[in-house]
Amino acid sequence: MRTGRLLRTSTFRRALIYMAPFGVLVVILFGFLYLGTLGLIDAQANATIEAEIRGLAEQYGSRGLSRLTEVIAERSGSKGEKGSIYLLTGPDLTPLAGNLNGWPSEAVLKDGWLSFEVERNEHGVATAHEIRAKPFRLAGGFRLLVGRDMAERAAFQQVIAKTLALALVITIILGVSGALYLSRKLLERVEAVAETSRTILRGDFTRRVPLAGSGDEFDHLSASLNEMLEQIEQLMTGMRAVTDSLAHDLRSPLTRLKGRIEVALRGSADAARYRETLAETIADADAILATFNALLAITEAEAGTARASMTRLELGELARAALELYEPLAEGKGLVLGQEIEDGVAIVGHPQLLAQSVANLLDNAIKYTPAGGAVSLAVRRAGERAELIVADSGPGIPAEDRERVLERFVRLDASRTSPGSGLGLSLVAAVAKLHRAELRLEDNAPGLKLTVSFDPAPPEPG
């Protein structure tokens, strides 16, 4: 993965933004520590210096100059406290005692706190030391200077500066590498999705986004994407199937239609013959249209888009309406049309597609049952489920063919001579699938018993 892309990711930028306050916090913390500690060191130095001045002035007051000179010499000697500075001079600033060579020039006239630098020998190297001191005028014109070497303060300053720099560097390194790591991880997951969609764009609809299996938000997203891809693939397959069957089943009747017209045109121009051909052509066109419409209805059911129009409906009412429509036809053919309808059997369904399915089933049953036979329609509860059963006493369907008749355009040889597109049962199968209903074909001994078993509608609210 190129670093350029890593740096451009939103995660990287966000991680950096997140890191910035930590950097500021580190600086503020060290700042407080630094200023606070320096203040403390200075205050301590001041207090010590003032206490010493008081003590020395007392010594001078009670025991005179000789005692003071003695004490100062003692304290500034090797036994005295390291880092303490003393200087006692006469009124003309000639040094009398102490470890400072001369009165600092800038402090000749001043009386307040002083800061100056002094060259001191340490391990044979002359280094500049910062001194903090306070002058004091003794009675008799003698002048006293007490101070402290602030080298420790400088050392502390250096330590703090170094630590601060180090802390900042560590924070930045941790932040940047963390951001890089995070964006790299994220980019890998995004890349997996992008790669999959590129493959799909190239035409491989079977590809799916890989899941990490951790159940995290990316898995969640990938799972949703996969579900969508599944649906798209199904729709595509459905489309292809429709196109195939359209090509297959409309081409031959269209060819027949064209042939009929060509033959008529080639023959002698006879008005009566033309009329006859035209009438036949309209009949052909109607048949093609019927096939086309049946295919469209199946497609509508199979695509699942029809699910939006599903409502709660009573199977019994639907069945009674269909029975009413077909009753005269059955009677005309000398069939007994029986019914066994339980009331209050509700499902959630598509009214038009279901009505068309029931009509197709009755149509088929009446068509294939010879005169004197019986056709019956039942609606009943079977345990939890709602069942719609169409039974007839016709020739039935051999067990080995039962699966096959649900496919499109399959018409068993025995029925080749009856009219019909061969799509009636396919529509029923597609509508059953749309309703997630189970379709069973059984032997009615004699005849066919077809059961559509639905999920019941959820109980009505209120």
Q: Which residues bind other proteins (CB under 8 A)?
A: 285, 289-290, 293, 296-297, 300, 306, 308-309, 321, 324-326, 328-329, 332, 352, 355-356, 359-360, 363, 366-367, 419-421, 424
Q: Choose between 228 and 285: whose C-beta lies nearer to other proteins.
A: 285
Report, in Å, the least distance between residue 198 CB and other proteins. 34
Cα separations (Å) of 297 from 293, 353, 419, 425? 6, 8, 19, 12
Closest CB 361 distance from other proteins, rounded Å: 11
Of 128 and 278, nearer to other proteins (C-beta) is 278
Terminal C-alpha separation, the chain: 60
CB 87, CB 100: distance < 8 Å: yes
Nearer to other proteins, 189 or 350 (CB): 350
Give the up-direction half-sphere exposure of residue 36: CA atoms within 13 A in the CB hemisphere.
Answer: 6
Q: How far is CA 244 from CA 239, 248, 431, in A?
A: 8, 6, 20
**151 with 104: CB under 8 angstroms?**
no
Q: How far is the CB of 325 from other proteins (least distance, A)?
A: 5
Which tokens hold the place of 86? 């003393």
Q: Which amino acid is at 74?
A: E
Least gap, CB of 298 to other proteins (angstroms): 12
CB nearer to other proteins: give 153 or 333: 333
DSSP string, 52-120: HHHHHHHHHHHHHHHHHHHHHHHHHSTTSPTTEEEEEE-TT--EEEES-SS--GGGSS--S-EEEEEEE
Q: Whose Cβ is closer to other proteins: residue 146's or residue 301's? A: 301
34 vs 292, which CB is nearer to other proteins? 292
Which DSSP state fits 186? H
**Closest approach of other proteins to the CB of residue 300, in Å:** 6
CB of 290 to other proteins, least distance (A): 7
